[in-house]
Amino acid sequence: MALGLESYSFLLIPSDAHFTIEDDVIDYDGGKKIPFSLVIETMLSLKHVRTYIPSDLTASKSIECYYIYNDNNILVELEVNAGKIEEEGVEEISVRFAVTSTEETSKQAIFICRLLTEQLFMKVIDMRLKKEIDLNNDLEIKKVIERLSLKKKNSTSFTPYPLIVLLLLCIVVNHFLMN
């Protein structure tokens, strides 16, 4: 599951870090880095989370930084430190899923974020909203899930054009076969 532009992403950073987002680039400073081993231990303690190797893994990235939540219905990718192991510790965890995913996937991704933020003392940035989201605010979470559901509906909206073209093609082929 290589997720790129068609993925939805939450970014977890240390709770005491300060951040700004400008032109889709996040910049943050401060914040106590979390030991890599503690992050990995915490992620692997979550049910259905395991290591995996993304199909688009490059030589500059480490396979030790990639994990996936997979319960045979829902896929959520977890990437530590943008794929790089740093001696100082972990300063970010990306939680990603496809924009065409179900509402249950959105809820599970938020649940994973909630567990990780509580155990690792991190906060969550919604990269599409470009702001921090409060996982203890049920109304805010509901709005995020509703927006994600709306995005899915918009991205999978039905357009009759391809069916019309196919129907016309079938009529033309049938006409030639009959003559």
Quick check: is 17 in a domain?
yes
Task: Please report whether residue 1 resides in a domain.
Answer: no
Q: What is the pLDDT of residue 17?
A: 92
What's 32's DSSP letter?
P
Report the pLDDT value the prediction gives residue 102, as an integer from 0 to 100.
83
Amino acid 99: pLDDT: 74
Tokens coding 3:
């997720």
d(CA 174, CA 141) in angstroms, rounded, equals: 53
Amino acid at 127: M
Tell whether 2 is covered by a domain. Answer: no
Residue 170 has which token pair?
């079938």
Helices then strands, counting H and E runs in the chain, come out as 4, 9
pTM of the model: 0.78
- Residue-number span of the structural domain to which 90 is assigned: 7-178
pLDDT of residue 160: 47
User: Residue 69: which H helix or E strand, with range?
Assistant: strand 66-70
Give tens-digit pLDDT for 112-161.
999 999 999 999 999 888 889 999 999 999 888 887 766 555 444 444 44
Query: How many domains is the chain partitioned into structurally?
Result: 1
- Read off the CATH number of the domain in which 126 is found: 3.30.1400
* DSSP bridge partners of 14: 122
Inside any domain, residue 35 = yes
For residue 24, what pLDDT band results from cuts at 50, 70 and 90? Answer: confident
> What is the mean predicted confidence (pLDDT) over 94-113?
89
